[in-house]
Amino acid sequence: MLGSYRVRTDLAVESKEKFEKDNVEIEGVEIYEEYEENLDLRTTIVKIVTDHGAKVMEKPKGVYITMEAPNLVVPDEDYHREISVKFAGHLRKLIGLEKEKSILVVGLGNREITPDALGPRTVSNLKITRHIVKEYGKAGMGKEQVHMVSGLIPGVMAQTGMETTEIIKGVIDEAKPDVIVAIDALAARSMKRLNCTIQITDTGINPGSGVLNFRNGLNEESLGIPVIGIGVPTVVDAATIVHDAVSHLLDSLEESEMEEFLSDIITPRLHSMFVTPKDVDETVKMLSFTISEGLNQAMNRVEL
C-alpha cells in the first residue's frame, strides 16, 4: 500500500492480502483458508485476537468469515441454494444457535438505490416468526426448538432524520432480542469481488461505510447485545480503479516517485465516486434471496 494513498475496502480478507504481498506475517492475527473445488468456493477465516492485530488490520478484534464464489453472479438457483447452505452453517456457529434465541435482523441501506438495497431486500424475504411464537408458542411453529425472528428496515438518515442506532435502540428496549444480525452493502478493494463475496463477522457493522458515509457503528459496545454483521461488496471507489489501471505501468519507478505520480492523478473527487457493475439490479436481487435463504435455514431450520 502506498504511503499517503489508502485503498478503500470493508473486507478483512483484503486487509490481510496487502501484508501477504510484502511477505509480512501479522502478529495477533490467525488465518485459515479452505477451497471447495466442486463449488469454486474459497472460504477465508480471519481471527483478530490481539489489540496489535486490530491496529495493524484496522479492524476490530473478532472473527471475519469471507466466502468468495465467482459464480454467485450467475442466475443458477441450484448453485445459490448450495451457497446458502454453506452460509447457514457459518452463521449458526457464529451466533451460537444451539439454544433458543430471539434474533432481530436489520436490513441496512436505502432500498431506492440498487447497490445499497441488499439489506432491505434480504429482510423482505425472511421468514419472520416472533409474532407467531408470541401468539401461539412453539406449537404455532410445530417444532421443539424455535428461534424468535423479527425484522427491521430502518431506512437511512436522509429518509428518517434519525441515526440508525437510535431506531434500533428503541426496538431493543421493547423487543429485547438476544442478538442482532445486521445486513449491509460494502465496498471492495478488488473489482473481481463485487457481488460474489459474502463477509460474516461478529464485530458488527458501520452503516454507510461502503460509500464513506460513516454513521454510528452497530456493535455490542453501542447496542449492549451481540451484533453479527453480514455484507456483500457491491461498489468499488473510482480511485481504486484508477490506481489499478496505471500502477502496473509504473513498475519501473521508485516507490516514492510512483506515490507522487498517483497522488497527483488520484484527486479527492475520485474518492467520492463509486462504481458498480451494470447488472447490479439482477445480482442484488439474487444475492438478497441467497442470504435470506441462508438466514432462514440457520434460524428456522428451513430445508432448502
Task: Show the cell assigned to 55.
Answer: 491496529
Give the start-to-end residue ranges of the domains of the chain: 12-300
Q: How many whole angstroms separate alpha carbon 89 and alpha carbon 92?
A: 5
pLDDT of residue 41: 97
Q: How many whole angstroms separate alpha carbon 115 and alpha carbon 275?
A: 10
pLDDT of residue 284: 94
pLDDT of residue 16: 73
Q: How many whole angstroms separate alpha carbon 60 and alpha carbon 204?
A: 9
**What CATH superfamily classification does 12-300 receive?**
HybD-like (3.40.50.1450)
Rounded to a whole number of angstroms, the distance between the first and last alpha carbons of the chain is 42
Average pLDDT of each block of 10 consecutive residues along the chain (304 residues)? 55 75 74 95 95 89 96 94 96 91 96 93 95 87 86 92 93 96 91 92 77 70 95 86 69 65 68 80 94 93 50
pLDDT of residue 251: 63
CA triple 205-209-212, angle to 5 deg: 165
Q: What is the pTM of this model?
A: 0.85
Kindly give, in sequence order, each residue whose CB lies less than 8 Å from that of residue 231, ignoring residues fewer than 6 positions away: 10, 183, 184, 185, 186, 198, 199, 205, 210
Own/partner pairs, 43-49, CB within 8 angstroms, 24+ separation? 43/67, 43/68, 43/86, 43/90, 44/13, 44/68, 46/12, 46/13, 46/16, 48/12
pLDDT of residue 241: 75
For residue 297, the 8-state DSSP code is H
Under a CB-based contact definition with an 8 Å cutoff, are residues 233 and 209 in contact? no
Query: How many CB atoms neighbour CB 77 within 10 A?
Result: 10
